[in-house]
Amino acid sequence: MYVKRSMVNRSAVLILFSAITVLAGAQSLRNSSTSQAGSGVRLALPQKHSLISGQDSALREKLQSDKARESVRAKEEKITAQETQARGYWIDPSTGLMWAGPDNGKAVTWHKARKYCHSLRVAGYSEWRLPTLKELGSLVDNEDYAPERIGNSEIVYLGSRVKGGLLLRGDPWSSDRPKNRFGHPYGDGWFFDLATSKPSYDLPYFRNAKYAICVRRP
């Protein structure tokens, strides 16, 4: 009887020892996994930081490049404007049109704008006229327009003046107006809206900050 009890006790001790060994091994494995995971996170952080730093550096270089290019462009435009105003006109190399350097200097009705151009003499040149909407559109560089969101609406602002260093103080009248059967203009007068880079129209006897800039074909 004593021998059997001793064997049972010895078996129980062995089973308990085995269980403790298994539990200790599992805990060791769990700690090792956690350590490796933590190590992985610590290694990933510098890589992410490096990526963000690289993006910031590229952005700074682009901004500096854009600023330098804009500075050169502003200087070139200033020189062109000085030459145009001194000469009194500018010839657009892309269209061959000759434009009077400044506008008429004050807001006028459509009829007065047309009369101003017909009587204009600049640098010995005559035969000036109001430009068409298409001709006015060729003066504006569409790349200078950029959208800007204010609240829930999107507006478009003019990034620079018209080409050639022309002095234009406001929206210019165009020669476009419908004509009756006798060939006389009637109805609304069309002008070029510089704020939207699109044609618009108004009553011809309204001034509303509309100016006359004149053109001729050499």
Domain ranges in the chain are 1-87, 90-216
- 26-55 mean pLDDT: 55
Q: What is the distance, to the nearest Å, from the Cα of residue 187 to the centroid of all Cα atoms in its chain? A: 36
- CATH node for 90-216: 3.10.100.10
Does residue 62 surpass a pLDDT of 80? no
pLDDT in tens, 153-164: 443 333 446 889
pTM of the model: 0.61
Decide if 215 contacts 91 (C-beta within 8 A).
no
- Which residue, 95, 174, 94, is CA-closest to 130? 174
Q: Taking a C-beta distance cutoff of 8 angstroms, is the pair 168, 103 a contact?
A: yes
Closest CA to 194 of 166, 159, 147: 159
Around 31, how many Cα atoms within 13 Å sit in the side-chain half-sphere? 6
The residue count for the chain: 218
Burial 126-165 (b: 16+ CB within 10 A, else e): eebebbbbebbebbbeeeebeeeeeeeeeeeeeeebbbbb
| pLDDT of amino acid 27 | 57
Per-residue pLDDT at 59 exceeds 70:
yes
